[in-house]
Structure formats: structure tokens, C-alpha cells
């Protein structure tokens, strides 16, 4: 596994623990289809949450949130519609979140969860 992939996997694990601690229930992780991947699908009360996780080892190439482009947001919405279709769900309340994880050289990870940003 490449270093980039292992950092990404670690960040997704950190993000999942953060979301659970915030009261969300994880329904699916790393769901893939031919069009791409959804990092985390969760439930926040009656709201279904599709969550993109971006992990960085530093801010030298920008913040995790700067890595989420308009094209990425558009793709996530299409993937979410496909996930809902395959799950056979009609959910009136859907939200798209981003969790940014920074893993500095010293100290623990810094996690920021932005709700409804995609």
C-alpha cells in the first residue's frame, strides 16, 4: 500500500471515530462503484449523511477542504443518488459533509467536520 493510501485510510478511520463520537451512526464505508467512491455514509438522526474525508500530513499543498472541488462535489451527489437507488431508499433529508483531517508531525490529529458543504 502506498504511503498516500495508508495516510488516507488512517484519516478515514479517524474521521469515522470522530463522527461516531458526535452521535452519527456509520452505515457504510468506502462504498465503490464504477463512477467512484463514497468514503462514509452515516445517519445523523433522521438525516442521511454522505461524507467525503480529506486527509493531509500538512498544509503545504493546501487544506483538506481546498481539495474538494466543484467537480468532486458534483460526483459525490451522483454517487449518493446511485447509493440510494441501490439501497432502495427514498430519504427526504440528505446532507453532504466533509471531514478534514490533518496529521501533524507532533501531537494528535486535528479533525474538522463541516456539515452541509457539498
What's the pLDDT score for residue 89? 82
Return d(Cα 58, Cα 41) in angstroms, integer: 26
98 exposure class (CB count in 10 Å sphere: 0-12, 13-18, 19+): buried
Class of domain 3-114: alpha beta
Average pLDDT per block of 10 residues along the chain, 118 residues long: 76 97 97 96 96 88 88 95 90 92 86 94
pTM for this predicted structure: 0.91
Among 93, 100, 94, 89, smallest CA distance to 39 is for 100
| Domain extents in the chain | 3-114
Q: What angle do CA 54, 5, 75 make, to 5 degrees?
A: 45
Amino acid at each position: 500500500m502506498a504511503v498516500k493510501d495508508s495516510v488516507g485510510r488512517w484519516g478515514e478511520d479517524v474521521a469515522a471515530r470522530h463522527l461516531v463520537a458526535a452521535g452519527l451512526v456509520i452505515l457504510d464505508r468506502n462504498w465503490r462503484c464504477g463512477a467512484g467512491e463514497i468514503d462514509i455514509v452515516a445517519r445523523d438522526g433522521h438525516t442521511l449523511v454522505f461524507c467525503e474525508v480529506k486527509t493531509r500530513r500538512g498544509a503545504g499543498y493546501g487544506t483538506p477542504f481546498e481539495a474538494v472541488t466543484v467537480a468532486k462535489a458534483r460526483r459525490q451527489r451522483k454517487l449518493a443518488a446511485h447509493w440510494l437507488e441501490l439501497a432502495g431508499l427514498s430519504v427526504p433529508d440528505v446532507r453532504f459533509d466533509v471531514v478534514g483531517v490533518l496529521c501533524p508531525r507532533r501531537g494528535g490529529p486535528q479533525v474538522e467536520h463541516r456539515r452541509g458543504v457539498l
